Each structure stands twice: as C-alpha cells, then as structure tokens.
Amino acid sequence: MSAIYILWLRELKRYTRSRAQIVASLGQPLLYLLVLGFGLGPVFQRAGNGSYFQFIAPGVVGMSVLFSSIFSGLGILWDRQFGFLKETMVAPVPRIQIMIGRTLGGSTVAVMQGLLVTLVCVLAGFRPVNYFTLPLALGFMVLIALLFAALGMAIGSGLEDMQGFQLIMNFLVMPIYFLSGALFPLSDQKLPMRIATGIDPLSYGIDGMRTFLLGRTVFGAFTDLLVMAVVGSILMVFGAWRFTKIEI
C-alpha cells in the first residue's frame, strides 16, 4: 500500500512543482472557451440551442481532464528515457501496485487540472443550473480521469520514442476530443457521425457532466455511468496487463 501512496504522491509533487506547465496547460482550454465560446455564441443562439458558452464549458473541462490524464499515462515514456522507470521496475513491489499508484496519481492531477479549468469557466461567467448535483458532475470528471489515465498507461507501456507520441496525439487524442461532443451537440447527427461519437468513451463522460451541470443529456445519466464504468474497468485491466509486460 505504501508503494501506491508514494508513487501517487510523486505524481502530485511533480504537478505542483511545474507551475509554468500548469499555466501553459490553461492556454488551450482558454482559447476554446473564450474564442469559440463567445465567437460561435450568436450562431448557436440563433439555431435555438441556447448559450454556446454554457454548452461548451463542460466540454472544455472534459478536454483538459482528457489531455492531462492521457499524458500522465504517456509519462511512462519520459520515465523510460530519464531512467526512473527502471528504478520502479526492479523494486520488490508487484508491478500492479506501481501501475495503480501511477494511475491514481495521474488521475488526481487530471482532476485538479479539471477543477482549475472549471474555476476559470466560472470566472468567465459559467453558471451550473443546479448546485446540488455538482458532486455528481465531479464524479464524472473522476471517471474520465481514471479511464484515460489507464488508456495512457496501456499505450505508454509500449511506446519507445517521440515519433510514436506524435502519432498518438494526432490519431487518438485529438479524435477522442473532437468526436466527444465537447464542441457540438450530439443529438440530430447523421448515422456515420452517430456511430463515431457513440464509440468514443469521452462522449459519455462529457454527456454525464452536462447532465448534472446543464440539465441536458443525450444518452441519459445511467447509460453514461454504465459505459464509463465498464470501459474504464476494461482499460484498467488492459493497462495493468500491458504495464506488467514492460521490458527495458
């Protein structure tokens, strides 16, 4: 247990020490939130969908949690390069514990990042429709963080260099984000789009957050929870399996 704790703590320390990085990682969400949020606002309003800023805020929060958690998993790549991974791999601790410690640490950091972006949203004028359901929205944030930290771990375990990293970024992380309905409503889409967005787990995470922040949903909170929990568990097992197979 203490191994899990110390590795969790390590992720947290690394996060709180990289202040410049924290600020830098706010840049992208801010762009989406302010430029798209306000820029597309009038069009969205005219189409009868209400405030685009309100709509996009949970999506942008989901995005920052997605990026932060998946990169924490891919952090194995850096640890591999700088050598720290070896140190944990020869330690007399079951690798599953190391994986759990890292994943929990990465998820915690991702949730903190998500809360930071939430705060920015609120400062910019975002208001949830119901304050009592906020913890439930936070719950979905945690699910997103865990799911994608595990996915990052599964991918990071097999990555050897930076080329692979770019590939993952452009062909996995960005599509997950753009297809998640973070930026546009998933209702009334044509079939190919419905399928593409339907197989993206983030769609359910963000839909879950919207359910409790805005009172609007596409899949329903129960389906959201079910999909996130099942896919999350599968990825957790898969990530752990991949992690234990690492050879250096």
Residues forming the site for other proteins (CB under 8 A): 2-3, 5-7, 10, 13-14, 17-18, 78-94, 160-163, 247-248
Q: How far is the CB of 16 from other proteins (least distance, A)?
A: 10
Q: How far is the CB of 191 from other proteins (least distance, A)?
A: 42
Nearest to 224 by CA among 136, 153, 104: 136
Q: How far is the CB of 102 from other proteins (least distance, A)?
A: 12
- Of 79 and 172, the one with the shorter C-beta distance to other proteins is 79
Amino acid at 120: V
- Of 49 and 244, the one with the shorter C-beta distance to other proteins is 244
- Of 78 and 222, the one with the shorter C-beta distance to other proteins is 78
User: Which segments within 8-97 are labelled E, that is strand?
Assistant: none
Residues 6 or more apart whose CB falls under 8 angstroms from that of 223 comprise: 204
- Of 89 and 196, the one with the shorter C-beta distance to other proteins is 89
Q: How far is the CB of 6 from other proteins (least distance, A)?
A: 4
- Cα atoms in the Cβ-side hemisphere of radius 13 Å centred on 214: 22
Rounded to whole angstroms, the Cα distance separating 1 from 104 reads 13
Residue 201 tokens, joined = 């787990």
Helix axis angle for 201-214 and 134-156, nearest 10°, is 160
- Of 82 and 132, the one with the shorter C-beta distance to other proteins is 82
CA dihedral 115, 141, 219, 230 (to 10 degrees): 170
Q: How far is the CB of 88 from other proteins (least distance, A)?
A: 7
